[in-house]
Amino acid sequence: MADTELSPAVRAIFVVALSLVAWPAAAAPDSAFTQFIASLWPEAQQAGVTRATFEAQTRGLEPDYKLPDLLLPGRPQTGAPAQAEFVQVPADYLKDASIARLAAEGQKLMAKYRDTLNAIEKRFGVPGSIILAIWGRETDFGRYTLPYDGLRVLATQAYVGRRKDQYRGEFIEALKLIQNGDVTRAQLRTSWGGATGLTQFLPSELGKHGVDFDGDGHVNIWTSVPDALASAAQQLVNKGWQRGVRWAYEVHAPRGVDCTQGVPEVTRPISEWLRAGFVPVRGLKLSPTELAQEASLLQPEGIYGPSFLTTKNYFVIKEYNFSDLYVLFVGNLSDRIMGGQSFETPWSASTQLRSADVEAMQKNMTRLGLYSDKIDGKAGMKTRAALGAYQKSAGIKVDCWPSESVLRAMQAGR
């Protein structure tokens, strides 16, 4: 009998029965997971975790197979969720109303924490507006409640995640945080990827970059705003932040600009970019020091939408979250906290191809020798530049943007 001939009630029973047959282990205690957790004890012990802490925190711990980005034998791949930074077009991710709301709140927080922010900038050289913008983007200034039990997330990712070795270490670092009294198990709430706190750190990052700025003997990025903001500043410094350098400059690109130059490897002093026809927006006048700074061209929508000259500090922020849209959000929010304006050039009405289509493009361009970076389905700087190189070789319009027309040209073997 065809499925369409079954009543809704019978179909529902049939679907439930199939799910029970396919995954019976989901309803029973997972002994293999329990054995895996027990196997981590020698590593935890070597890292300084006591047996008492290990037993107390792992007793009754269960995996969360509903997390994304897992590799589950015999089950459909869960796949990574659609992170907004990588699947939304700029106009959707960089909504002016959202940035304006956060900027207004950020200005209030700038006044509230002025002494702390000034002390952080004096010590680390990172402007208070930048770290406030990171706080705003990551957790809406603490208003966003992280949804997951952190220890459970880290244990599951270590067991069946795509980066098992990394998460074994993160799980053990989380045990150390709890043991040291830096955070309670209840406070250790995370994203699906295990990032935690007001400014979203993985446990190992806290060990590398955490700062006890309020002087209470603990690095507390969950409830101590000074610690969270100072730790974010320290992370930026450790990744190369340069004191006194802006994150980027919005510019108007000259007609006929070669968008394939928009990669980190192509750097010139800003003065050279300006001599080549790039013009800072709103008549901004740059100092001799600024003109001497090295910068790269960034065109997030290819030849469409705004263009930017990005400094070393742009790429430092990108180490916090490897997305151009994330950095643009943080940078513009920082500017607007300080009274700046939105982007002068509007974002275009571009559409975003599916990740699978972008991945197919990357594979094709790799085969042609035009692309040598990760095959990840994300249209980042190097993918866009490679697309421009492909468009040149195929004799089609060069716009450095992954569109349906370029995909069809590749599929036709052009």
Q: How far is CA 27 from CA 19, 33, 299, in A?
A: 11, 14, 50
Task: Round the average pLDDT of the chain to a whole number and report it.
Answer: 90
Q: Is 90 within the bounds of a domain?
A: no
One domain, residues 369 and 279: no
Residue 402 in any domain: the answer is: yes
**pLDDT over threshold 90, residue 303:** yes
**Full residue range of the structural domain in which residue 285 is found:** 248-310
pLDDT tens, position by position, 118-167: 999 999 999 999 999 999 999 999 999 999 999 999 999 999 998 999 99
- pLDDT bracket for residue 322 (50, 70, 90): confident
Q: Which residues contact 59 (CB under 8 A, 6 or more apart)?
A: none
**How far, in Å, are 30, 60, 162, 220 from residue 157 at the CA level?**
15, 17, 7, 24
By the 8 A CB rule, do 225 and 106 touch? no
Answer whether residue 347 is part of any domain. no
Q: What predicted TM-score, i.e. pTM, was given to this entire model?
A: 0.88
State the DSSP H helix or E strand holding residue 45, giving kind and residue range, or none if neither: helix 41-46
Q: pLDDT digits over 175-193, tens only?
A: 999 999 999 999 999 999 9
The predicted pLDDT at position 88 comes to 74
* Phi and psi angles of residue 380, each rounded to the nearest 5 degrees, phi first: -80, -170
Structurally, the chain folds into a number of domains equal to 3
Predicted pLDDT at 202: 97
Tell me: the pLDDT tens digits for 199-219? 999 999 999 999 999 999 999
Structure tokens at 256: 């006929």
How would residue 74 be classed by pLDDT, with cut points 50, 70 and 90? low
pLDDT of residue 5 exceeding 60: no
Task: Report yes or no on 390 lying in a domain.
Answer: yes
Based on the domain organization, do 164 and 38 belong to the same domain? Answer: yes
What pLDDT is stored for residue 16 in this prediction? 39
**Across 292-303, average pLDDT:** 96
Inter-residue contact 117 to 337 (CB < 8 Å): no
My answer on whether 252 and 378 are in the same domain is no
| Residue 53 maps to a domain | yes
- Whether 389 is in a domain gets the answer yes
Residues 61 and 158 in one domain: yes
Q: What pLDDT, on the 0 to 100 scale, is given for residue 18?
A: 34
What pLDDT was estimated at residue 29? 63
Are 382 and 256 in a shared domain? Answer: no
Q: What is the pLDDT of residue 22?
A: 41
pLDDT digits (tens, 9 = 90+) for 36-65: 999 999 999 999 999 999 999 999 999 999
Nearest Cα residue to 266 out of 389, 86, 394, 398: 389
- Do 303 and 171 lie in one domain? The reply is no
Same domain, 266 and 152: no
What contacts 31, CB < 8 A, 6 or more positions away? none
pLDDT of residue 4: 34
Q: What's the confidence (pLDDT) of residue 87?
A: 59
Pick the closest to residue 384 from 414, 352, 412 (CA basis): 352
Please, are residues 374 and 252 in contact by the beta-carbon 8 Å criterion?
no
Shared domain for 176 and 52, answered yes or no, is yes
Query: What is the C-alpha to C-alpha distance for residues 340 and 282, in angstroms, rounded to an integer?
Result: 11
Q: Look at residue 81 and tell me whether its pLDDT is greater than 70.
A: no
What percent of the chain has a predicted confidence (pLDDT) above 70? 89
Does residue 137 form part of some domain?
no
* Average pLDDT over every residue of 104-112: 98
Position 310 pLDDT exceeds 80: yes
Residue 255 and residue 167 share a domain: no
**Band of the pLDDT at 290, cuts 50, 70, 90?**
very high
Which of 38-42, 80-84, 239-243 comes out lowest in average pLDDT?
80-84
**The pLDDT of residue 3:** 36
Q: What are phi and psi of 350, to 5 degrees?
A: -70, 155
Residues 6 or more apart whose CB falls under 8 angstroms from that of 140 comprise 102
Q: How far is CA 172 from CA 150, 259, 414, in A?
A: 12, 45, 51
pLDDT of 14 strictly over 80: no
61 in a domain, yes or no? yes
Same domain assignment for residues 259 and 398: no
For residues 153 and 285, membership in a common domain is answered with no
pLDDT at 287 over 60: yes
Q: Are residues 359 and 286 in the same domain?
A: no
Give 6's pLDDT tier (boundaries 50, 70, 90): very low
| CB-count burial class (<10 Å; 0-12, 13-18, 19+) for 247 | buried
Quick check: 408 pLDDT over 80? yes
